[in-house]
Structure 1
Amino acid sequence: MAVHTAAHHSSAQVLPFRESLLAMLGVSFVAMLVALDQTVVGTALPTIVSELRGFELYAWVATSYLLTSVITVPIFGRLGDYYGRKPFVIASIVVFTLASVLCGAASSMSFLVVARGLQGIGGGMLVGTAFACIPDLFPDSVVRLRWQVLMSSAFGIANAIGPSLGGFLTQYYGWRSVFYVNLPVGLLSLFFVWRYLPHLRHIAHKERMRLDWPGALLIAVALGSLQLFVERLPEHGLSLAAIGLLAIAAAAALALWQWERRCAQAILPVDMFRNASLNALFTLAVLGGFTMFSLLFYAPLLFQGGFGMSPNEAGVVITPLVVFITIGSIANGRIVSRIRNPNRMLYVGFAMLAFACFAVALASHNTPRGLLMAVMIVGGLGLGFVMPNLTVFAQQTAGREHLGIATALLQSLRMIGGMIGTALTGTLVTQLYSSGVHKALEADGALHWFTQLADPQILINRNTQGALVGELAKAGHNGAPLLEAAREALVGAIHLGIALAAVVALVSLWQTRRVPLIKLQRKVEPVIHAD
């Protein structure tokens, strides 16, 4: 094998500019593939359920994807360290695209759930390997930050157009087209990755690596149980089954820690967790994920269900949040390489995120739309300052040998933080909303309609609202004040949930002091060209 060093190019990158650009386009299309799917499918779900008739499996369309992707991210992140990332990126594109075709061809909800699980495996492989391709191509962290803007832009574009595209495709071409749209994007990314992404390895092996199957299995059990616990919590609370799942997750995590300490070729190297800097960054990934997903998930529900905005109006208000994540990432790449203490960007980012969450928690239906959009801009910039830096700082600290698993773990922990955040906020919102609705209906002697008003989605669907008001009027009740009481209960519940996210952002701000000063080094290490 020939040793190929990045020092051959003045900008400290493995390939010349043109080849670097084409390789990064391939990686960016891969990122867009995952991001587009996550945003497009949500819009089509109600239509899918009404046609395939399997409402009891509604949540599992999302859960099966999340479950398999969360499990596979760290596993393939580590495998990429050993064997190089290109083969896994190619395999993941193929799996994801084929699974998308199967989703589009689904004839029942159970078939769709299985196909979404397979799609999640492809998505987890993509996230676990694609993000780590960037430091492979750009060993210099300053240069890497500038190129990472392409990846951030791909995510931003996909998140911005996803919901609208999902609605458009579903309305005019049917819900199956929502999955088939992945086919051209998948083929495009496959071409660029196959043709231009180099096959690089950072670990030379004197002996063949044995896959740590017990470690992989324990990761699957721990993360799978945690995901299922999180899914059950908002609807069922701390039931016996939920506590059992949490106990299984904790036992599997403890067994994983004990096993990996003794395993010669551990899939999860425990020495990483003895690194104070990495530990602090991993903690911030969990906390940042908690705040980010709580805001992204519940702000639209607040604007539509709580403030009575139409889906289009809410979309206009939310769009700056998504767009300015990309703009923040671009600005961050310019700023962070020019200041003496790059850690300051984390302080600024978490402060902006905390401010945005508190502002949303204090907003009412009388708050001007322009002001809400300004708050969304601040939140987006905050996330743009935090997320790329967590990734680059972790890659800088982990070193070449653990680059892939450190990057993958950061993504996994952010997803876990998001899962915990949406579960806790969701539980809070569900309980407080139900309690408020129950009180209002009880006071009016209309408890018979509790099941219809118990789901806050009724506050978004105006046709259903009209039918309910009609039913209540026939029974001698005034439906409008009851709906308004339900709306106020939802606003109060979400306000409290978003305030919790703001407190977590302040905790993140405090925890940032644990991150030792990161030096964005302009040094180049040799990599092994495996082509």
Structure 2
Amino acid sequence: MSKRNLVIATVALLIANFMGGLDSTIVNTALPAIISDLNGIRLVGWISSAFLLGTAVTTVLWGRVGEIFGNKRVFQFSVALFILSSMLGGLSTNMVILIIARALMGIGAGGMVSIPFIIYADIYPNPAQRARALGWVTAFYTLSTVAGPLIGGWLVDALSWHWVFFINLPIGIISMLLLQFTYKEDKDKSVENSFDYLGAGLLSAALIVLLFASDALAISMVRSLSLLIIGMVILGFFLFIEKRSNHALIPLELLKNPRVQVQNVMMFLINGFMIGYSVYAPMWAQGLLGKSATMGGLTQIASSILLLVGTRLTAKLMIKIPYKRIVLMGTISIVISALSMTLATKAAPYWWLIVSGAFEGFGMGLSFTPMQVSLQDGVRKELVSVSTTFGLLFRTLGQTFMASVFGAVLSLNTASHVARSDGKITTDMINKLSDANTAEQLPQNLIPDMRTILFNGLHTIMLIGLALVIVSFIFNLVRKEPVKQPR
């Protein structure tokens, strides 16, 4: 491959990475407008959790599909799926269609995010060059999370929430075309058909059922517990099958390594709080403080910038001090963020959200890199790939399940308080309150009471988030570092 084609192919992959990162913050910024337009406060958690579940379930599968059909072709297919489902999302007229679109977007994102790392290994055989390319991946992702709130807020204010989905169409097409004309993949590869399809199917089924169990909390405790039991039975059957499989999707040897798996649990918990802040801080700014969609999106800026700062600082600290101590500093910063959100009152100033986000982003930047390296160094060479993928799965599941739980909590809290308002306040009013534009149409004398209802729900979410990060902090204090394996 010529140097020119190498650069263009890399840019093509970075554009897709940018689009994937952009989606998380740009959609969160538009959530208040979506809720208001589609009357969707009951299902708001599913907008995030459906996307994340699609990503989580398929991330571990896309690599195998790429081996069979070719990474280039599969990458382009995943991008095409992402942008077509984005169009469906933008054209949605109700929450059910939007949630289906988000699930399809998540499936596409699973390949769009994971396959590039395989292609990087192909076009950058030199480890030093590949490391620099992966540095650009982090930079582009951070840029997207900074730009997302600004772009999302502007699109909602100037056009409509539909355009936060339509914007993916030109970006995705550019990425596909650039890669098509610059990257030539070796097609003469023989692949042994040893993929654990049964295990993949059982794991996917278990995760989907468990997600429905978490969402059912807002409807029926009996239904939630029933789905939980069914999900756990399927998960148990998955483990039974994996124990007897010669090509297990997740080797039991990996699951039996407590020093590694405690870090996955910590990632689950920390990401649970992160999704709570990123989804509901913009709603807090708009619904409680009356800010615009753009200002709601800007609550994420400090988090994104400090995430990059924390990541850069971690690379230097890992040379000097133990990984566990770096993670300790990171979890302390995240605890401060969660604590500040639980102490915030209904009238807390806008800058309070910004500062909380700064601590959250900085803590994330400090925590994830050393834990990710430990997940790889703490297992033998043959398990490095599956350990890395399994860690990604846990991070995504933390966001997926807690997004669903938080949505259920907000829905239950809203319904409870609305029922006690003697018909003066409706759920539809709370939907409109979450968007500063439609809030102007509400009876002004009822807005203080409506903000109290919304605040109670958001405060409960932040309390749960604080509990998650405190447990993660305790785990880090008592855990032992994984033993670095020889290579």
TM-score tier, shorter chain, comes to: 0.7 to 0.9
TM alignment of 1:269-288, pairs within 5 A = 269-288=251-270
CA displacement 1:474-502 (0-9 Å, x = unmatched): xxxxx63x532342343344334313312
TM-score (structure 1 length as normaliser)? 0.76
1:132–1:332 distance in 2 versus 1, CA, 3 Å: farther
| Contact kept? 1:318, 1:376, Cα under 8 Å | yes
Contact 1:325 1:382 in 2 (8 A): yes
Distance 2:317 2:9 in 1: 25
Residue 81 of structure 2 corresponds to which residue in structure 1?
Answer: 95
Instruction: Give yes or no for contact 1:132–1:407 (8 Å, CA) kept in 2.
Output: no
2:197 to 199, 213, 230: 213
Separation in 2 of the partners of 1:436 and 1:57? 18
Distance 1:353 1:267, change over 3 A: same
Partner of 1:181: 167
| 8 Å CA contact 1:77, 1:408 repeated in 2 | no
User: Given that residues 25 and 150 in structure 1 are in contact (C-alpha distance below 8 angstroms), is that contact kept between their aligned partners in structure 2?
Assistant: no
**1:229 correspondence with 2:204:** no
CA distance in 2: counterparts of 1:419 and 1:350, whole angstroms: 20
Match of 1:3 in 2: none
Q: How many equivalent pairs are there?
A: 485
Cα 1:192/1:510, change in 2 over 3 Å:
farther
Aligned to 2:471: 507
- Contact 1:432–1:493 at 8 Å: present in 2 too? yes
The corresponding residue for 1:449 is 424
> Cα offset for 1:248?
2.3
Segment drifting more, 491-500 vs 128-137: 128-137
Q: CA deviation at 1:396?
A: 3.1
For each residue in 1:257-278, what CA deviation from the matched residue of structure 2 results, as whole angstroms up to 9, or x when unmatched? 0001111112222221122332
The answer as to whether partners of 2:154 and 2:293 remain within 8 angstroms in 1 is no
User: Of 229, 237, 242, which residue of structure 2 is paired with 1:260?
Assistant: 242
Q: Which residue of 2 aligns with 1:118?
A: 104
Which of 340, 352, 364 does residue 345 from structure 2 map onto? 364
- Offset from partner CA, 1:363-420 (integer Å, 9 cap, x none): 2355454454333212111111123333333233345534443333222211221233
The DSSP-based 3-state class of the residue aligned with 2:109 is helix
**With structure 2 as the length reference, what TM-score do the two structures score?**
0.82
Q: Which residue of 1 aligns with 2:150?
A: 164
Q: 1:146 to 1:509 in 2, by over 3 A?
A: farther
C-alpha separation in 2, matches of 1:373 and 1:83: 45
- Match of residue 388, structure 1, among 351, 369, 374: 369
Q: Residue type matched to 1:124 in 2?
A: G
- Whole-angstrom CA distance in 2 between matches of 1:463 and 1:82: 50
**Counterpart contact for 2:26–2:151, Cα < 8 Å:** yes
Q: 1:34 aligns with which of 20, 24, 29?
A: 20
Unmatched 5+ stretches in structure 1:
1-14, 442-446, 470-478, 524-531
Q: Give the Å deviation of 1:509.
A: 1.9
Which of 494, 498, 501 is equivalent to 2:462?
Answer: 498
Computed over aligned residues only, the root mean square deviation of the Cα atoms, in angstroms, reads: 4.2
Distance in structure 2 (CA, Å) of the matches to 1:460 and 1:52: 12
Give the Cα separation in 1 of the matches to 2:67 and 2:375: 15
Deviation at 1:237, TM superposition (A): 4.6
Equivalence map 1:81-480=2 (5 Å): 88-101=74-87, 115-130=101-116, 148-169=134-155, 177-190=163-176, 208-233=192-217, 235-238=218-221, 240-336=222-318, 338-365=319-346, 367-436=348-417, 438-439=419-420, 441=421, 447-452=422-427, 456-461=430-435, 465=439, 467-469=441-443, 480=445
Q: Which has the larger radius of gyration?
A: 1
The one-letter code sitting in structure 2 at the alignment partner of 1:294 is G
Partners of 1:50 and 1:487 in 2: CA distance = 15
Aligned residues: percent identity? 24
User: Matches of 1:516 and 1:47 in 2, distance apart?
Assistant: 45
Displacement, 1:219?
1.6
CA distance in 2, matches of 1:36, 1:108: 23
Q: 1:487 to 1:113 in 2, by over 3 A?
A: closer
Tell me if the contact between 2:33 and 2:434 (Cα under 8 Å) persists in the aligned partners: no
2:344 maps to amino acid = A
**Equivalent AA in structure 1 for residue 307 of structure 2:** I
Three-state SS of the structure 2 residue aligned to 1:449 is coil
* C-alpha distance in 2 between matches for 1:147 and 1:518: 29
